[in-house]
Structure 1
């Protein structure tokens, strides 16, 4: 069954989508999606709990079943994002090198942009080569807040 529910977290409202016992998407704010049952399932409640624990500092990693859909390259990038330690950042170039494609910084940026499960797959930890915060679905203010909260909760 496809369910969605907007949860309250320390980082604001997040709409979580679940399909057959796996999280498929996470959106900033309240989002309307046709054809989905509005229901706070046990898994969605667990996402809410784990995100809040994570940003309070009582959890170091997420343990949530995900359904990650993308190209093989995108999946490699998303896996590399999950390897960035909490409270740290990497550049697009760093990630390109980590996935074995040193000249693919732009493709890494596009993979980041296509990440459907931000926060859990931490695309907010990727910054520009000059050290500036760039592009983020939740907005740069949210990206900055996430990074600050991670540093404090380490």
Structure 2
């Protein structure tokens, strides 16, 4: 019979989490791309940001309908309801069928170039700016902070 005294436990290796594979319903940090962020030039930056902050990428139904991101990443009433500590809404207009799926998030930070975008009504922090300026600057700041010893 096995007992704690007869078991030998050996640590073989540490496998870091691949945050790209984390289910959005289970994620602590989500970087979500709407139509304004799921473009050929911006989406690689969305993925890079998610990787830097140990987040998983989520999205909206219109992006799914365009076939740009797998369906299991869809957030909202017709997708998954999420409750991460941090939800970054990038280029998301803020339709109610999407915001209904994020209302239990700890903090919602939205970036949209339209200062009247509905997403800002659901956000703790709203940034009305062009993602083509915000994403590279944010990624650079995070990288610089890490180089300077910050733990993010």
Q: Which has the larger radius of gyration?
A: 2
